[in-house]
A and B are shown apart, each in its own frame.
Chain A
Amino acid sequence: MEILHFDIAAPTPAGGTRAMALVGVVASGNLEVLVERSDTPDRCAIEISTAAHGFRDLWDAVVADFVGRRAAGGLRIAINDGGARPDTVSLRLAQGVRMIEEPEA
Chain B
Amino acid sequence: MSDIRQSWYEAGARERIAALVDSGSFAEFVGPERRETSPHLGIFDLPAQFDDGIVVGSATLDGTPILVAAQEGRFMGGAFGEVHGAKLTGLLRAAKALGRDVVIAFDTGGVRLQEANAGEIAIAEIMRAVVEARIAGVRVVGLIGGRAGCYGGGGLIAGCCSTLIVSEQGRISVTGPEVIETNMGVEEFDSRDRALVWRTMGGKHRTLIGGADVFVDDDAAAFRDAARAALAQSARPLSVRSAYPHSFALSEVEGLGSIDGASTSLSTNGGGSIDGASTSLSTNGGGSIGGASTSLSTNGGGSIDGASTAPSTNGSGERPGLDLDTLAAEQARLERRIARFGDAADATDIWQALGIDDPKAVPDMPATAFATLAAQYRESADDAR
Contacts and interface: CB of A to CB of B under 8 A. Distances in A.
B343 interface: no
Interface string B358-375: 000000000000000000
Given A34-B33, A105-B23, A105-B24, A25 B47 contact: no
Nearest to A80: B47
A27 B46 CA distance: 10
B33 A27 contact: no
Given A25-B74, A32-B32, A32-B49, 16 more contacts: A22-B14, A25-B75, A26-B47, A26-B49, A26-B76, A27-B75, A30-B74, A32-B50, A34-B32, A34-B33, A50-B47, A51-B45, A78-B35, A78-B50, A80-B50, A105-B23
B33 A82 contact: no
A102 interface: no
B42 interface: yes
Interface in B9-25: 12, 14, 18, 23-24
A30 B48 CA distance: 12
Contact of B46 (A20, A22, A51, A105): A51
Given A1-B42, A34-B33, A104 B24 contact: yes
Contacts of B49: 25-26, 32, 80
Given A104-B24, A105-B23, A25 B48 contact: no
B72 interface: yes
A1 B45 contact: yes
Contacts of B24: 104-105
A96 B76 CA distance: 22
Contacts of B46: 51
Classify chain B's interface size: 10 to 19
Contacts of A20: 32-33
25 contacts: A1-B42, A1-B45, A20-B32, A20-B33, A22-B14, A22-B32, A22-B50, A25-B72, A25-B74, A26-B47, A26-B48, A26-B49, A26-B76, A27-B74, A30-B74, A32-B32, A32-B49, A34-B33, A50-B47, A51-B45, A78-B35, A80-B47, A80-B48, A104-B24, A105-B23
A67 to B, nearest CB: 22
A81 B18 contact: no
A56 B46 CA distance: 18
Interface string A27-63: 1001010101000000000000111000000000000
The secondary structure that dominates the B interface is: loop
Interface in B33-85: 33, 35, 42, 45-50, 72, 74-76
Interface of B: 12, 14, 18, 23-24, 32-33, 35, 42, 45-50, 72, 74-76
A45 to B, nearest CB: 15
B182 to A, nearest CB: 21
Contact of B48 (A22, A27, A36, A49): A49
Nearest to B35: A78
B308 to A, nearest CB: 45
B38 to A, nearest CB: 11
A36 B31 CA distance: 13
A17 B46 CA distance: 33
Nearest to B49: A26
Contacts of B18: 105
Nearest to B26: A105
Nearest to A30: B74
